[in-house]
Amino acid sequence: IWRRPFDWMRSFNTPVMQLERQTGKQAGDRRRTLGLRFGSYALALQMLGFLFEFAMMIGLSMLLLLFLAPMGVDNLETEDMWTWLDTAITVVSFCVIGPFYVGGGFSLYLNRRIILEAWDVELNLKRLRARVDAISAKALGVLLVAILVVVPDGVYAAKESKVEAERETQVERTPPPLQTPMREVAVEVVKHEDFGSEKVEQEFRFRWEADKKKSESSDFDFFGGVGEFIASVLQVLGWMLLAVILGTLVYLIWRTFGGYTPDTAIGKQAPKVLFGLNIAPETLPDDISAAALALIAQGQVRDALSLIYRGALSYLVHARNLRVSAGATESEVATLSKRVLTPGGVAYFGGVLSQWIDIAYAGRLPDVQAITALANGYAEHFPSLTERKP
């Protein structure tokens, strides 16, 4: 919680903790994944919100000075760096701009989630369009040949038009003045003292008249208070920046030399549902391989694959204690599985995931032979949940 005020993308990163309930190293990895393409936008939103708040503070200060100065209020001129009026203006600016800042960050978070969750589906759809892509490549080659044939004429025409434009410009230029006798006479006439001269005048006045003019101009001195206000705001921002730097150094030292525990009570609770599937151990049979083969024999191939997929996820989460958040995608689970599975197990889980995506998202018919092979090889890579590994 103490790090949130120092996060320059906090409106974009806050849903990771509040909605996805992620903490520690997993939350940091999730924030880095979300910020790969949208981090610059979130930072720009932070700076834009700061500029709007600063502009609103300046505007409110000018408005108050405009209404209070003609009324003869003298307590506006003070030597205090920060007054109660400055605090009220700052709070009002934060309250007005804050909801827009939070809404903008949450919108960026939703857009990034949509892109990430649709990425796996997009990869499979690209595989299905392999033949169409081949035809498009041939058409692109024909189009490039046509462009190569047409482009030289256009370039030659552009060069000709450029040359003609330069000729017209040269023709339309005004020629230099001619040294004629009439021009020389005109120059001599202009140089005469009647046509131009410099004159210095001095005027003596009483001092009380100068003091009177100075007092009249003092009505506009309240603009100098705005400059002092800006200077005080910049000074406060400088102290805040120094505090951020010191806090970052303390955090890095604390994380490097001990005291950093990413696991929390919320993070240790294994999820019971992933991707809309119930992966609780009590909802699965003891022998998932035999149960899947029985479903295949009954013609329920999709249910058999669903059982294998649920069993694999349940084994990763509950038997191998793999921390998977409720907002993770299929590709993220496949990447995390490499930490706890052997290379053969990773390849097997990748096959299960590929078959599941083809059936659940791409709408393809199940491959009976491939799913039967997955059912036969399940026990080799994913033992029973009662056989927990360290």
What digits encode the pLDDT tens for the residues 255-276? 666 544 443 333 456 677 777 7
Q: Do 233 and 302 lie in a common domain?
A: no
The residue range of the domain holding 42 is 4-71+78-123+222-256
321 torsion bin: left (phi>0), alpha (psi -120 to 50), beta (else): left
Q: Do 47 and 138 lie in a common domain?
A: no
Q: Do 247 and 322 lie in a common domain?
A: no
Please check whether residue 12 lies inside any domain of the structure. yes
Domain count, the chain: 3
Please check whether residue 207 lies inside any domain of the structure. no
Q: Using the predicted structure, report yes or no on whether residue 77 has a pLDDT greater than 70.
A: no
Q: Do 22 and 105 lie in a common domain?
A: yes
Q: Do 277 and 376 lie in a common domain?
A: yes
**What is the enclosing helix (H) or strand (E) of 123?**
helix 119-128
Beta 277-278 vs 273-274: how paired, if at all? antiparallel
C-alpha span between 233 and 86 (Å, rounded): 9
Q: Do 165 and 276 lie in a common domain?
A: no
Q: How far is CA 106 from the centre of its chain?
A: 11
Q: Do 243 and 145 lie in a common domain?
A: no
Please check whether residue 148 lies inside any domain of the structure. yes
In which residue are the tokens 């047409």 written? 150
Q: Do 113 and 141 lie in a common domain?
A: no
Please check whether residue 191 lies inside any domain of the structure. no
Question: Which comes out higher in pLDDT, residue 211 or 231?
Answer: 231
From 336, 354, 332, 333, select the one nearest 279 (Cα to Cα).
333
pLDDT at 176: 58
C-alpha span between 23 and 9 (Å, rounded): 16
Residues 192, 193, 196, 198, CA torsion sign: positive
Average pLDDT over residues 204-227: 56
From 229, 378, 258, 222, select the one nearest 313 (Cα to Cα).
378
Q: Do 243 and 277 lie in a common domain?
A: no
Name 375's Cβ contacts closer than 8 Å, sequence gap at least 6. 289, 292, 293, 296, 304, 308
Question: pLDDT category, 154, cuts 50, 70, 90?
Answer: very low
Beta carbons of 87 and 233 less than 8 angstroms apart: no
pLDDT at 389: 42
Q: Do 246 and 306 lie in a common domain?
A: no
C-alpha span between 124 and 144 (Å, rounded): 29
Average pLDDT over residues 9-26: 78
pTM of the model: 0.38
Angle of CA points 287, 273, 358, to nearest 5°? 75
Beta carbons of 119 and 356 less than 8 angstroms apart: no
Q: Do 118 and 136 lie in a common domain?
A: no
Query: In 218-367, which ranges are continuous DSSP H helix?
Result: 222-256, 265-268, 288-297, 301-314, 330-337, 343-360
C-alpha span between 346 and 290 (Å, rounded): 21
